[in-house]
Amino acid sequence: MPYVALAAGIGATLGLYKAALPDADFWDATALLERQRMILTGREQALLARACMIAEGAFGAARAAIHVGATEVQVAAAAQAQLEIAGLREPAVPRAGGPSAWPVRAPPTPIAPMP
């Protein structure tokens, strides 16, 4: 008798599998698959490292663009430019926008920590 391992959450699809494989014995492989998902492959590790480097570049560009009088649009454009240099072709920096484009003001007065 063939065995078929399925993960939880397949819902109505299970009925289709059972109809297609009436002689199969089904068992829940959720725990096995969850453990396997915890282990990153070398390719996944490399992709995450690249994503972190790209994000660091974008945040660094945004940080460098922030100064009194800079607008939200200017800061977002600096970050977006770095993302595009890295190869991203879609807008990825959300902005609040608005007519004044939220200019950066002088640093706020520090707030005392809660006791």
- Condensed to tens digits (0 to 9), the pLDDT of residues 59-104 reads 999 999 999 888 888 888 999 999 999 998 877 776 665 554 555 5
Residue 26, C-beta contacts closer than 8 angstroms, at least 6 positions apart: 3, 4, 5, 6, 14, 17, 18
pLDDT given for residue 51 in this prediction: 92
Give, as one character, the DSSP assignment of residue 2.
-
Answer yes or no: pTM beyond 0.75. Answer: no
Cα 91 from Cα 50, distance rounded (Å): 18
Report DSSP letters for 24-64, one per residue.
Answer: PEEEE-HHHHHHHHTS--HHHHHHHHHHHHHHHHHHHHHHH
Structure-token pair, residue 87: 């190869």
